[in-house]
């Protein structure tokens, strides 16, 4: 375990060495940002709307007492979405979508000697392959999480309109009531950390793949599993530290 | 000139290379031959720095490559071109982008100049007009030629080639051998080729090193190989009936 941790840290250090040519790396960062950000927007939108809707209906069901104002459903759905569902569930989904793709892409490059070809040319392969992915992860995850929060809250409103469990006006009033900026800060910090964890762990797994197609698949699976576990651990730590 | 001194490479308990020393002839085709598992590819990877030798040194023009760190190696690496066994073209890039990739990273040429160079290299390997194809759209022989075009794009002093004929039909193999030979002579490149293809050995082997059990077992030219009495080399080179018959006719 310590051996792997050491290799991971050394790989990260190599990844952030001075680039051979900034313009080439910049183009690669942009390409990765489009892939991670735009490429994930569809799945994030779908899960966010549904999670927001389901959360609102469940909260409305649990708080059916006449003593509790109906607007509380909006407040609880909002805080749950901002603090937990959007950053954590989105990141777990992104680990599957983005992380596995990164691990298998780099792993395939390893087993087909494309990484060797980079090294022969004098290119810092970890820097060229991994740093753009990490930069894309830590910049695009927060944007995706903010979009996810907005869509989650919209999903809750939609559930109110369709189901009528809570009136849309009560829901929106609850969403506005007692809003604290800290929750958004926590969500953004989580998104940045999760983005780093997922991209770096999956890239590490891909980079040290050896063998063939079977091992590439195993690396992708390991990358997703390890990054999901680390995301949940980091979620707990950040929540404990910031709230 | 490339010189290797006492190269030893061990993986766990397995001694793959055992103290190999040799000098590769400048401007010539230097072939490393040997049976499967004899350490040919490992030796090549030690020379180019993809593997670190357990012991020994690799010297490029008097500079000890083995002792250098990553940054110190970069200027030497820009003089190295390599063709991999499976070509190792970047899947996400077109043929043209593959060839321009090292130029983008290590030169300050304008886009037009880089494009000119890529077109020249493609023309040189008889693939004019294939610029916009992706590696997945190319045949095995075309991939090898694009690999060669990428390897020569930086006008290398040293060309390393790993199994250039693997997976190719005999005719295409000969075309690839001829192309490598022409480039070696034309640009006076020091070419190191790992192969077990006897057509290559007898066709372009200016200087041949035979590896056996991780050691340098024999060294000579293609003319000398036919008359050697080295048992292991004879067993390897003249393993087929056809080659034995060809030897008998000599």
Show the domain range for A202: 20-242
Number of domains present in the structure of chain B? 1
* Domain membership flag for residue B209: yes
In total, the C-beta contacts within 8 angstroms joining chain A to chain B are 56
Strand, coil or helix: what is A84? helix
Using CB atoms within 10 Å of the CB of residue B230, give its burial: 0 to 12 exposed, 13 to 18 middle, 19+ buried.
middle
Q: Work out the number of other CB atoms within 10 angstroms of the CB of residue B204.
A: 23
What is the average per-residue pLDDT within A228-238? Answer: 97
pLDDT digits (tens, 9 = 90+) for A214-224: 999 999 999 99
Q: Does B122 touch chain A (CB under 8 A)?
A: no
* Domain membership flag for residue A166: yes
pLDDT at B82 over 90: yes
CA B166 – CA B196 distance, rounded (Å): 9
What confidence tier does A107 reach under pLDDT thresholds 50, 70, 90? very high
Q: Given A113, A120, A123, which is nearest B86 (Cβ)?
A: A113
Identify the top-confidence range among A129-133, B84-88, B181-185.
A129-133
Q: Does B155 touch chain A (CB under 8 A)?
A: no
How many residues in total does chain A contain?
A: 243
pLDDT at B226 over 90: no
Distance from the B157 Cα atom to the nearest Cα atom in chain A, whole angstroms: 13
B50, A116: Cβ pair inside 8 Å?
A: yes
Nearest C-alpha in A relative to B152: A121
Nearest C-alpha in A relative to B69: A122
**Percentage of chain A with pLDDT > 70?**
100
Nearest C-alpha in B relative to A18: B71
Number of domains present in the structure of chain A? 1
pLDDT at B236 over 90: no
Q: What is the DSSP code (8-state) at residue A166?
A: S
What confidence tier does A51 reach under pLDDT thresholds 50, 70, 90? very high
Distance from the B72 Cα atom to the nearest Cα atom in chain A, whole angstroms: 10
pLDDT of residue B233: 87
CA B140 – CA B162 distance, rounded (Å): 14
* Domain membership flag for residue B234: no
Provide the mean pLDDT of chain B. Answer: 92
B102, A121: Cβ pair inside 8 Å?
A: yes
The continuous run of DSSP H or E covering B125 comes out as: none
The continuous run of DSSP H or E covering B206 comes out as: none
Distance from the A159 Cα atom to the nearest Cα atom in chain B, whole angstroms: 43
**Percentage of chain A with pLDDT > 90?**
91
Q: Does B156 touch chain A (CB under 8 A)?
A: no
Q: Does B104 touch chain A (CB under 8 A)?
A: yes
pLDDT of residue B250: 64
Say which residue the tokens 């997976």 belong to. B167
Which range, of A145-149, B89-93, B129-133, B243-247, averages the lowest pLDDT? B243-247
* Domain membership flag for residue B241: no
pLDDT of residue A181: 94
pLDDT digits (tens, 9 = 90+) for A23-46: 999 999 999 999 999 999 999 999
Q: Where are the alpha helices (DSSP H) in A89-211?
A: 90-94, 100-111, 114-121, 125-129, 131-163, 168-176, 181-207
Which range, of A119-128, B99-108, B240-249, averages the lowest pLDDT? B240-249
B84, A113: Cβ pair inside 8 Å?
A: yes
Closest CA to A88 of A48, A60, A54, A49: A48
Using CB atoms within 10 Å of the CB of residue B241, give its burial: 0 to 12 exposed, 13 to 18 middle, 19+ buried.
exposed
What is the average per-residue pLDDT within B179-198? Answer: 92
**Percentage of chain B with pLDDT > 70?**
99
pLDDT of residue A223: 97
Closest CA to B134 of B89, B81, B164, B169: B89
CA A56 – CA B64 distance, rounded (Å): 68
What is the average per-residue pLDDT within B40-56? Answer: 95
Q: Which residues of B touch A109 (CB under 8 A)?
A: 90-91
The continuous run of DSSP H or E covering B8 comes out as: strand B2-11
The continuous run of DSSP H or E covering B237 comes out as: helix B231-237
The continuous run of DSSP H or E covering B3 comes out as: strand B2-11
A121, B48: Cβ pair inside 8 Å?
A: no
pLDDT of residue B185: 93
Query: Which CATH number covers residue B139?
Result: 3.40.50.300
* Dihedral Cα B107, B108, B109, B115, nearest 10 deg: 60
CA B80 – CA B178 distance, rounded (Å): 20
pLDDT of residue A209: 96
CA A76 – CA A166 distance, rounded (Å): 13
Q: Does B134 touch chain A (CB under 8 A)?
A: no
* Domain membership flag for residue A1: no
pLDDT at B246 over 80: no
Q: Does B105 touch chain A (CB under 8 A)?
A: yes
Residues facing residue B7 across a β-bridge: B20
* Domain membership flag for residue B66: yes
Q: What is the DSSP string of B154-200?
A: T--SEEEEE-TTTT--HHHHHHHHHHHHHHHHHHT-EEEEEE--HHH
pLDDT digits (tens, 9 = 90+) for B200-221: 888 899 999 999 999 999 999 9
Provide the mean pLDDT of chain A. Answer: 95
pLDDT of residue A128: 96
Q: Given A116, A122, A123, which is nearest B84 (Cβ)?
A: A116
Nearest C-alpha in A relative to B100: A24
Q: Work out the number of other CB atoms within 10 angstroms of the CB of residue B244.
A: 13
Show the domain range for B97: 2-222
Q: What are the φ/ψ torsions at residue B108 (nearest 5 degrees)? A: -105, 25
Closest CA to B156 of B110, B121, B128: B121
Q: Does B114 touch chain A (CB under 8 A)?
A: no
- Distance from CA of residue A116 to its chain's centroid? 30
Distance from the A92 Cα atom to the nearest Cα atom in chain B, whole angstroms: 27
Q: How far are the Cα atoms of A18, A195, B99 from residue A127, in angstroms, in the given order? A: 8, 17, 20
pLDDT of residue B230: 87
What is the average per-residue pLDDT within B26-34? Answer: 94
pLDDT digits (tens, 9 = 90+) for A121-175: 999 999 999 999 999 999 999 999 999 999 999 999 999 999 988 999 999 999 9
* Domain membership flag for residue A12: no
The continuous run of DSSP H or E covering B99 comes out as: helix B95-106
pLDDT of residue B37: 87
């Amino acid at each position: 375990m310590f051996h792997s941790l050491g290799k991971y840290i050394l790989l990260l250090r190599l990844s952030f060495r001075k680039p051979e040519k900034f313009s080439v790396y910049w183009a690669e960062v942009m390409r990765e940002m489009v892939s991670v950000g735009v490429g994930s927007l569809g799945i994030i939108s779908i899960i966010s709307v549904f999670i927001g809707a389901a959360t609102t209906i469940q909260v409305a069901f649990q708080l059916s007492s006449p003593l509790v104002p109906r607007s509380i459903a909006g407040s609880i759905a909002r805080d749950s979405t901002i603090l937990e569902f959007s950053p954590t569930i989105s990141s777990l989904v992104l680990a599957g979508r983005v992380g596995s793709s990164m691990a298998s892409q780099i792993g395939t490059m390893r087993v087909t000697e494309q990484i060797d070809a980079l090294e022969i040319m004098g290119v810092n392969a970890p820097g060229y392959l991994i740093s753009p992915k990490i930069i894309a992860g830590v910049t695009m995850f927060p944007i995706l999480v903010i979009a996810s929060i907005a869509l989650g809250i919209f999903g809750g409103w939609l559930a109110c309109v369709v189901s009528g469990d809570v009136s849309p006006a009560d829901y929106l009033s609850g969403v506005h009531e007692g809003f604290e900026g800290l929750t958004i800060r926590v969500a953004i910090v989580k998104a940045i950390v999760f983005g780093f964890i997922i991209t770096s762990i999956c890239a590490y797994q891909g980079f040290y793949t050896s063998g063939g197609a079977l091992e590439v698949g195993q690396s992708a699976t390991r990358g997703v599993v390890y990054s999901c576990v680390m995301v949940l651990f980091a979620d707990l730590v950040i929540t404990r530290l910031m709230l | 000139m490339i010189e290797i001194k006492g190269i030893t490479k061990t993986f766990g308990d397995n001694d793959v290379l055992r103290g190999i020393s040799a000098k590769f002839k400048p401007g010539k085709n230097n072939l490393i031959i040997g049976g499967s598992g004899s350490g040919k590819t490992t030796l090549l990877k030690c020379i180019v720095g993809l593997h670190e030798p357990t012991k020994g040194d690799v010297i490029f023009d008097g500079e000890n490559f083995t002792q250098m760190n990553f940054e110190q190696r970069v200027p030497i690496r820009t003089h190295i071109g390599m063709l991999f066994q499976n070509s190792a073209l970047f899947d996400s890039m077109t043929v043209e982008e593959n060839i321009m990739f090292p130029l983008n990273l290590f030169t300050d040429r304008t886009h037009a100049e880089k494009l000119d160079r890529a077109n020249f290299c493609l023309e040189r390997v008889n693939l004019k007009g294939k610029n916009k194809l992706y590696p997945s759209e190319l045949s095995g022989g075309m991939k090898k030629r694009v690999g060669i075009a990428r390897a020569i794009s930086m006008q290398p002093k040293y060309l390393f080639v790993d199994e250039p004929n693997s997976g190719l039909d005999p005719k295409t193999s000969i075309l690839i051998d001829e192309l490598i030979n022409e480039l070696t002579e034309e640009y006076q490149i020091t070419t190191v080729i790992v192969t077990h293809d006897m057509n290559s050995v007898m066709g372009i082997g200016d200087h041949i090193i035979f590896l056996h059990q991780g050691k340098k077992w024999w060294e000579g030219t293609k003319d000398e190989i036919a008359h050697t009495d080295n048992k292991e080399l004879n067993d390897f080179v003249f393993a087929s009936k056809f080659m034995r018959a060809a030897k008998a006719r000599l």
